[in-house]
Amino acid sequence: MQSCSTFLHLQSILSIQNVSKSYGPIRALNGISFDVPEGSVFGVLGPNGSGKTTLLGIILDVLKANNGTYSWFDGMKHEDARRQIGSLLETPNFYHYLSAYNNLEITAAIRQHGLEDRERVLKLVGLSERQHSKFQTYSLGMKQRLAIGAALLGSPKVLVLDEPTNGLDPAGIAEIRELIRKLNREGITIVIASHLLDEVEKVCTHVAILKKGNLLLNGPVDDVLRSEDQLEVKAADMAQLERVLQLMSGVKKIRPADGMLQLTCEGIEPQQVNEHCMKNGIVLSHLQLKKRSLESKFMELTN
């Protein structure tokens, strides 16, 4: 994870409770529950067919869940909440022979937003300089930025994006990533569906991992997609164990969990931790390596 909004609060902006959805015999979502914290960039991560688009469709009132509920802004009426949410589920149809400026005029009129918002939005998505060029002359990245710009009309507090980097080249992907970070810094909570671990890891603060309609894990990206080696250790005198480990180089972080200490290590082997403890008069009663790369963890979770 690289970006973390300065507006990150723990308050939930969206709460999803036990949501299920079937298409005939196909169970697309199976009792999904999680909260999206205000100020987060929240990734809904999962392979194709895991139910991401269905979930976004439900929270945007485009699809109806068979079971469960969801609530925006602490129980605000859905019609009122929708006015505070910008979304991009499918690529909008822009007129190829019109400029970004004129295309947004049409979008603003359809959505009943004032025209004055256009320039703010074009600046926000970095299209001010090209706003009068025809849409057909834009790169794919610029087209996608315009689509996000259209979703930003009306100054929504939340932006919901389905696979926003699909089909883009690395430069276009980087542009969208930067834009998402910038919008988040402006205080917008962003929910992104993606099948790309890399994208979620680089831009999201929080993640929910779906597999075949089931929620596998959710929480801060740092916790859920931990890439470093983790060691679990335990000894009779836990306070002394912690003091001793604080002195060991290679131990980057120590976190008490479930009556043990969880160590985040770099460049040291478990036996070295054991030796260090022995030398300092501590006999470990438990020592377990939890070694996983991000990729292997994701594959293991979703495969």
Closer residue to ligand ATP, CB minimum distance, 26 or 109: 26
Q: Which of 64, 76, 57 is nearest to 15 (CA)?
A: 76
Site size for ligand ATP (CB under 6 A): 12
**Which one of residues 5, 40, 54, 131 is an interface residue with ligand ATP (CB under 6 A)?**
54
Closest separation between CB of residue 260 and ligand ATP, Å? Answer: 36
Partners of 34 in the β-ladder: 16
Closest separation between CB of residue 43 and ligand ATP, Å? Answer: 12
**Which one of residues 36, 42, 52, 204 is an interface residue with ligand ATP (CB under 6 A)?**
52
DSSP 118-151: HHHHHHHTT-STTTTSBGGGS-HHHHHHHHHHHH
Cα distance between residue 290 and residue 296, in whole Å = 12
Task: Examine residue 23 and tell whether it contacts ligand ATP (CB under 6 A).
Answer: yes
DSSP category for residue 174: H
Region 174-233 residues binding ligand ATP, contact defined as CB under 6 A: 195
Task: Examine residue 31 and tell whether it contacts ligand ATP (CB under 6 A).
Answer: no
**Which one of residues 5, 40, 50, 184 is an interface residue with ligand ATP (CB under 6 A)?**
50
Region 241-300 residues binding ligand ATP, contact defined as CB under 6 A: none
Asked whether the beta carbons of 210 and 45 are under 8 A apart, the reply is: yes
**Which one of residues 34, 36, 40, 53 is an interface residue with ligand ATP (CB under 6 A)?**
53
Closer residue to ligand ATP, CB minimum distance, 32 or 261: 32
Task: Examine residue 144 and tell whether it contacts ligand ATP (CB under 6 A).
Answer: no
The percent of the chain in helix, strand and coil, each rounded to the nearest 5, is 35, 30, 35
Closer residue to ligand ATP, CB minimum distance, 46 or 86: 46
**Which one of residues 51, 141, 164, 172 is an interface residue with ligand ATP (CB under 6 A)?**
51
Q: How wide is the angle at C-alpha 6 spanned by C-alphas 219 and 210, nearest 5°?
A: 20
Taking CB under 6 A as the binding criterion, the range among 42-50, 96-104, 106-114, 235-243 that sits at the site for ligand ATP is 42-50
DSSP category for residue 99: B
Cα distance between residue 41 and residue 28, in whole Å = 24
Name 37's Cβ contacts closer than 8 Å, sequence gap at least 6.
8, 9, 10, 11, 12, 13, 189, 206
Closest separation between CB of residue 152 and ligand ATP, Å? Answer: 23
Q: Distance of alpha carbon 175 from its chain centroid, rounded?
A: 17
Closer residue to ligand ATP, CB minimum distance, 157 or 212: 212
Binding positions for ligand ATP, rule: CB under 6 A: 23, 26, 28, 46, 48-54, 195
